[in-house]
Structure 1
Amino acid sequence: MGQDVSKELRLGFLVHDVSRMRRSMVDRALKPMGLTRSQWWVLAFLSRRDGMPQVVLADQLDIGKVAVGALIDRLEAHGLVERQHDPGDRRVKRIYLTQVGDKLIRDIRTNVAEVERSIIEGIGDTDIDAAVRALRSMKSNLLALLSTSKADQDDGAGIFDTPIE
Structure 2
Amino acid sequence: MFHDSDIFRQLSLAERLARVSRLWKMAADRELAPLGLTHPRWTALWKLQRLGDHISQKQLACALELELPSLMRTLSQLEEQALITRHSSESDKRTRIVSLTEQGRRLLTQMEKRILDVRNQVLQDVSPQDLELLSTLLEKIAENTLRTLDN
Match of 1:40 among 39, 42, 45: 42
What letter is aligned with 1:74?
Q
Distance in 2 (CA, whole Å) between partners of 1:121 and 1:144 is: 33
| Structure 2: 5+ residue stretches without partners | 1-5
SS at match of 1:94: strand
Q: Which has the larger radius of gyration?
A: 1
Offset of 1:145 from its aligned partner?
Answer: 4.6
User: What residue number does 1:101 align with?
Assistant: 104
Cross-structure match for 2:25:
23
Structure 1 consecutive aligned stretches of length 4 or more whose deviation exceeds 6 Å: none
My pick for the range that moved more, 65-74 or 13-22, is 65-74
Q: How much has 1:113 moved relative to structure 2?
A: 0.7
CA distance in 2 between counterparts of 1:112 and 1:58 reads 22
Pair 1:58 & 2:61 matched? yes
**Given the superposition, is the C-alpha separation of residues 141 and 102 from structure 1 closer, same or farther in structure 2, using an over 3 Å criterion?**
farther
Structure with the larger RCO, 1 or 2 (CA within 8 Å, 6+ apart): 2
- The partner residue of 1:110 within 98, 110, 113 is 113
Partner of 1:161: none
Q: Distance in 2 between matches of 1:15 and 1:35?
A: 24
Corresponding residue pairs, total: 143
1:25-82 CA deviation, whole Å, 9 max, x = no partner? 0011001111111111111110111223212323443444333222211211221011
Identity of aligned residues (%): 26
State the partner residue of 1:83.
86
CA shift in 2, pair 1:85/1:23, >3 Å: same
Unaligned ranges ≥5, structure 1: 150-165
